[in-house]
Amino acid sequence: MWRKTISPGIRALSYSGQLNMVIVANTGAIPDLEVFSSGFSQAFSHLRKGSQGR
């Protein structure tokens, strides 16, 4: 039963001018994982667009 309680893991790695993001999650703990990852991706794109030209 412990597998249903694992929360998402979000990792970021910045190296050589790149920022890479990873989300690892259990669909039992987050049944709407697609919604979560879509929102995360949209927010990250918004941040990226705001930082261009700096």
Tokens linked to 12: 């970021």
Helix, strand, or coil (residue 25): coil
Q: Name 12's Cβ contacts closer than 8 Å, sequence gap at least 6.
A: 19, 20, 21, 22
pLDDT score of 49 more than 60 = yes
- What pLDDT digit, counting tens, does each position of 20-43 carry? 888 888 777 777 888 888 998 898
List the one residue out of 16, 21, 11 whose CA is nearest residue 44: 21
pLDDT score of 13 more than 70 = yes
CB 8 within 8 A of CB 36: yes
> What is the CB neighbour count within 10 angstroms for residue 37?
14
pLDDT grade for 4, boundaries at 50, 70 and 90: low
As a whole-number percent, the residues of the chain with pLDDT over 70 amount to: 85
pLDDT for res 15: 92
pLDDT score of 2 more than 60 = no
